[in-house]
Amino acid sequence: MTRRRETNVQRLVALAFKIAPPERRSWFEAMAAELDHVPKAARMHFAVGCLLAACRQRLGSSQFLQTAASNVLIVGAMLWAALNIRFAGRMSVSDALILEAYGYCTALLFLIGAVVTARLGNRATISLIAPLILVLTATAAFIRIGSAPTPTSHLYLALIVENLAVLLLALIVAGAAARFATVRKGLN
C-alpha cells in the first residue's frame, strides 16, 4: 500500500469519526483501532465501510432528524409568511381590506410558528397547528354552508383551504419527526 493510499484511509476513518453522532463516537474509535489490525490490502475497503456506517448512524440519529424537520418547518413557515405578505401587499393596491388583513394575519401566524418551532421544537409546533386547523376547518365549513356562493366567498374558501393544506403538511412533518424520536427512544 502506498503512503498516499494509507493517508487516504486515515482521512476516511477520521471523517467517519467526525460524521458519527456524538453518542456513537466510541464505536468509531473502535473501528479506527481495528483498522490497525486489518491487512493493508483490505484497509481501504474497511475505511469506506466505516464512512458508510457513520453516515447511516448520523442519518438515523433522532437528533439529526429532529433538527432537519425543525429546519424544514422554519424555512417553510417563513417562505409561506413571505408569500402571504406579498399577497397582502397586492390586495392593498386593490383596496381589498379584508383580504389584505387576512394576508398579514396569516403571515404573522406563520412567523410566530417559525419562532415557536425554533425555540421550543416540533412538539410545540403540533400544539400550535392543531387548534389552528380546527379553527380554519370550522371557518371553511361556515363559509361553505352558511353563506351564499359568491365569487368572494369562493375566494375566501380557497384561501382557507390553501392554508389548511400547508398546515396539514407541516403537521405531518412535525408529527413524523416526533413519532420517530419516540420510537428511537423506545429502542435505545
CB 144 within 8 A of CB 87: no
Q: How far is the CB of 67 from other proteins (least distance, A)?
A: 21
Output 45 or 154, the one with its CB closest to other proteins.
45
Output 54 or 170, the one with its CB closest to other proteins.
54
Output 30 or 82, the one with its CB closest to other proteins.
30
Q: How far is the CB of 63 from other proteins (least distance, A)?
A: 15
How far are the Cα atoms of 35, 46, 99, 103, 185 from residue 72, in angstroms, in the given order? Answer: 38, 34, 27, 22, 22
Output 36 or 95, the one with its CB closest to other proteins.
36
> d(Cα 20, Cα 156) in Å, to the nearest integer?
49
Helix 25-35 with 43-60: angle, nearest 10 deg: 180
Output 48 or 143, the one with its CB closest to other proteins.
48
Output 44 or 78, the one with its CB closest to other proteins.
44
Q: Which residues contact 64 (CB under 8 A, 6 or more apart)?
A: 21, 58
Note the residues at the interface with other proteins (CB under 8 A): 24, 27, 29-31, 33-34, 36-38, 42, 45-46, 48-53, 56-57, 187-188
Residues belonging to the chain:
188
Q: How far is the CB of 16 from other proteins (least distance, A)?
A: 10
Q: How far is the CB of 42 from other proteins (least distance, A)?
A: 7
CB 35 within 8 A of CB 9: yes
> d(Cα 28, Cα 15) in Å, to the nearest integer?
10
> d(Cα 70, Cα 76) in Å, to the nearest integer?
10
Q: How far is the CB of 150 from other proteins (least distance, A)?
A: 56
Q: How far is the CB of 176 from other proteins (least distance, A)?
A: 20
> d(Cα 74, Cα 40) in Å, to the nearest integer?
47
